[in-house]
Chains A and B, each alone.
Chain A
Amino acid sequence: MSSSELASTTAAAPAAAAAVKHPRSRLKFKDTWWRHAVGVVAMCAALFPVVYIVSSSFNSNSSLQSAQVIPSHVTLHNFGSLLHNNVKGNTGAKQDAPYPHWFLNSMLISLLTALATTVLGALAAYAFSRFRFKGRRGGMMGLLLIQMFPQFVAVAAIYLIVLNVGEVFPQIGLDKLAAVVIVYLGGAMGVQAWLIKGFFDTIPTELDESARVDGATAAQIFWGVVMPLAAPVLAVVALISFVFTLNEFVIASTILQTTSHKTLPVGMQLFISNSYDKVWGPFAAGALLAALPVAALFMFLQRWIVSGLTAGSVKG
C-alpha cells in the first residue's frame, strides 16, 4: 500500500468506517499467499490417506505397489468379498474373515461403551459439580492421575482379571464382548467426567434449587433439568468415546480370541498381518465401510459439538 493510499484511507476512515464491510478483502495476495500455502499443504497431508483408501478400495488389484490414485478398473469386488466372507489372499487361499460380524461387534461395543460412558461420566460429574463431600478434590485428582497411565500398560493385569472373572461369570470372561465393554468403561471415566463437570459448573445452581423447591427429587433434577441442558457436552463425550472405542486395538485383541468375536481393527489386522500375503484391497474397503457410522454420527451430533467442545474446554 503506497503512502498516499494510506493517507487517503486514514482520512476517509472515520466517515466511511461503517461503509467498509470487508476490510479483509483489501489484503493483497502477496501478503497472504503463505497462509494459503500452509492450508493447502495441511489439507493434502490430511486428505492423502483418505484418497488412498478410497482409491484402493475400488481397485481390483490388491497389492500396494501397483495401485493407482485413479484405478484403471473400478470395481466393487473388494466390498463384495468382504460382505460374503470370501476374501482370498494373493495366493488364492481363502481367509476366514467374517467382516459383517466384526462390524456388528464393533458397533455394539462402541455404542454401548459410548452410551454407558456418557451416563456414568455425567453421574460422576454431577456429584463432583453439585455435592460437597469429603474426598471430592482427592477423587477428582485421582480420576485425572489414573487417566495419565495408558490403559494398555495394564493389559496383562486386565487379561488376568478377565480370565479369572470368567471362571465365575462366564458371560464377562475372555472372548466375550461384554468383558471388553466393561474394561473400556473402567478406563474411559476420567477425562469424560472432568469434561462434563466443567459444563455442569456453568449451569446455574439456581436451576437445581428452583427444581428442588418445585418438588423435584435429585434424580428428577438430574434427568429432567441438568441432562437436557448438558446435551452439547454429552454429544461430544459420546462421540469421543465412540471413536476411541471403535479404534481401540490392544485390549480388544487381548480379550477377543475367536475370529467371529473380533472387532473391526482386530479382525482387519488379519488382512495385513501376513508378511507375504497382505490383502490391501479388502482392507481399504473395510476401513471405508467402518468410517461410515462415525461420519454419520458426526453429522447427527454436529449441531451440539461445537458449543460442547468450547464450553467444556474453557471451564474444564
Chain B
Amino acid sequence: MADVAFNDVDKIYDNGVQAVFGLTLDIHDAEFLVLVGPSGCGKTTALRMVAGLEEISGGTVSIGGRVVNDVSPKERDIAMVFQNYALYPHLSVGENIAFGLRLRKEPKEMINERVAWAAKLLDLAPYLNRKPKELSGGQRQRVAMGRAIVRKPQVFLMDEPLSNLDAKLRVQMRADIAHLQRELQTTTVYVTHDQVEAMTMGDRVAVMANGVLQQVDAPQRLYDRPANLFVAGFIGTPPMNLLEATATVNGEVSVNLGGNVLPIAPEAIQQYPRLREYGGRPVIVGLRAGDLHPAQGRDDLPQIHATVEIVESLGGESMAYFRVDARYIKSEAAEEEAVLASEGTPETVVGSRPNLVASFPPHVHLRLRDKVPIAVDTKNLHFFDEASGAPLR
C-alpha cells in the first residue's frame, strides 16, 4: 500500500512532442483514481511514467514517498493491466498468473497458494490449465487482473482494461474491478477515455486534456462544479449543452439565448456570482439534458423555443435533439473533436447540427421540424467566460 505523487511532471518524447505538461497530482493510499480524457491527452503516458515504461523528462514521480524516476519497473513494486491484456500466449492461465512470482523466485508452495487465491477471487479456477487463446474476452481480462493482484503490489496501474470488451461485459467488469479494489485496498490508477467508467469507478477522477490536468475531484463534484468548459463538456452523458448567450443585468439577471430571454434563478446566481459582472456581454451557458423539460405542465419554469431535429427513444427516457439559434461549443466527449481544444479554449461554432439535447420522459410526442417550447430549470445552469473558459464563480 502506498501513495503515488506526481510533482510537476513533464514528458517530452524524442521527436519533440510534449505529451504531459507540469502534472502535479497526489493519489492517496488505497485510493481508486481514474485518469480520464480524450485520446492523446497524455493520460496513458502519465500512467506509463508511474510504471517505469516511459522516462520522466521533468519533475518527479514518487511511490510511497520514494522518488522512482530512476528506479526500474521491477523494483517499483507495481502491477499493470494492459489494454490488450498482454497475456503470454504460450503459457497456461496458471503460469501466466504465476509469472511474476516465479521471476521473483518465490517458494513453490507460496506461488501455488497465491495463484489459487487469485483464481478463486476471479472465478478462474476451472481454467488454470487452459491457454489464453481458449478463453473468452472477459476471462482473458480476468487473467490479466489475476496476474496483477497475485503479487500483492503497492500500486495497480490499469490502462483502459475494459475497452476490448463488449458493452454488457464492460458494465459488469466495471463493478467487479471496483469491488475488487475496495476489497484489496490497493492504490489504483486507472486510465480510461470513457467518462462513464471514470464516474462510476473512481473515488476521485482526474480529467486531462492536451497533456494538462484540468480538474481532480470526486465524480459528483466534477459533474456539479466543473472547473472549466472542457470538463463541463466532457463529463456527463449526454454531454452538457454549451451555448453562447448574452447576459442582461438590471436587478434581475437574465440571459438571451438565441432570442429566448431566460430569467436566471437566484440559486444559479449564488453558484456563479460573477455572472452579474457580465451585463451586456456574451457568456457560455451550460445546460444539462436533465434540466430541460417538456413545457406542458411546467408553468413555473421559464421557456425557450427550439426546433425538434431528432428524437431517440431509449425506453425509459427519450433523448430529444433540438436546434436553437445560438452559437455552441461542440462536445468534447466526441473524441475526434478533441483536436478542437488543442489551442487554448474551445471556440464556439455556428452549425446546422442540433445544438441542444434534452432528456425527456418517454411518450412525449414531438414532431420533427416543429418549433416547441422547452421548460428550463435555471437553478442548475452553469456559466463560463467565453474567452478563457473559466467558470464565473
Q: Which residues on A are within 8 Å of B, measured CB to CB?
A: 132, 204, 206-207, 209-217, 220, 225, 228-229
Add 5 more A-B contacts to A212-B73, A216-B74 (CB < 8 A). A206-B82, A209-B80, A212-B74, A217-B74, A225-B88
The 3 residue pairs across chains A and B that have the minimum distance between CB atoms: A214-B100, A215-B74, A210-B86
- Give every chain B residue within 8 A of A209 (Cβ-Cβ): 51, 53, 80, 82, 86
In chain A, what residue has the closest Cβ to B90? A228
Q: A204-B86, A206-B82, A206-B86 are in contact. Are A214 and B99 (CB under 8 A)?
A: yes
Q: Which residues on B are within 8 Å of A, measured CB to CB?
A: 14, 51-53, 72-74, 78-80, 82-84, 86, 88-90, 99-100, 103-104, 147, 151, 157
The complex places the Cα of A224 from the Cα of B99 at a distance, in Å, of: 10
- Give every chain A residue within 8 A of B157 (Cβ-Cβ): 213
Q: Are A204 and B73 in contact (CB under 8 A)?
A: no
In chain B, what residue has the closest Cβ to A210? B86
Name B74's contact: one of A204, A206, A213, A225 (CB within 8 Å): A213
Q: Are A204 and B84 in contact (CB under 8 A)?
A: yes
- Give every chain B residue within 8 A of A210 (Cβ-Cβ): 80, 82, 86, 147
The complex places the Cα of A212 from the Cα of B82 at a distance, in Å, of: 13
The CB with the most chain A CB atoms within 10 A, among B52, B103, B104, B151, is that of B103
- Give every chain B residue within 8 A of A213 (Cβ-Cβ): 51-53, 73-74, 78-80, 157
| Nearest-Cβ distance from residue B148 to partner chain A, whole angstroms | 9
The CB with the most chain A CB atoms within 10 A, among B72, B80, B86, B90, is that of B86
- Give every chain B residue within 8 A of A206 (Cβ-Cβ): 82-84, 86
The CB with the most chain B CB atoms within 10 A, among A132, A215, A217, is that of A215
| Nearest-Cβ distance from residue A228 to partner chain B, whole angstroms | 4
In chain B, what residue has the closest Cβ to A203? B89
Name B103's contact: one of A132, A204, A216, A228 (CB within 8 Å): A216
- Give every chain A residue within 8 A of B82 (Cβ-Cβ): 206, 209-210
| Nearest-Cβ distance from residue A137 to partner chain B, whole angstroms | 14
- Give every chain A residue within 8 A of B90 (Cβ-Cβ): 228-229
| Nearest-Cβ distance from residue A249 to partner chain B, whole angstroms | 39
The complex places the Cα of A215 from the Cα of B151 at a distance, in Å, of: 11
Q: Are A214 and B84 in contact (CB under 8 A)?
A: no
- Give every chain B residue within 8 A of A229 (Cβ-Cβ): 88-90
- Give every chain B residue within 8 A of A225 (Cβ-Cβ): 88
- Give every chain A residue within 8 A of B80 (Cβ-Cβ): 209-210, 213
Q: Are B104 and A215 in contact (CB under 8 A)?
A: yes
- Give every chain A residue within 8 A of B147 (Cβ-Cβ): 210, 214
- Give every chain B residue within 8 A of A220 (Cβ-Cβ): 103
In chain B, what residue has the closest Cβ to A206? B86
Interface CB pairs A-B, < 8 A, 24: A132-B14, A204-B84, A204-B86, A206-B84, A207-B86, A207-B88, A209-B53, A209-B80, A209-B82, A210-B80, A210-B82, A210-B147, A212-B52, A212-B72, A213-B51, A213-B52, A213-B53, A213-B73, A213-B79, A215-B73, A215-B104, A216-B103, A220-B103, A229-B88
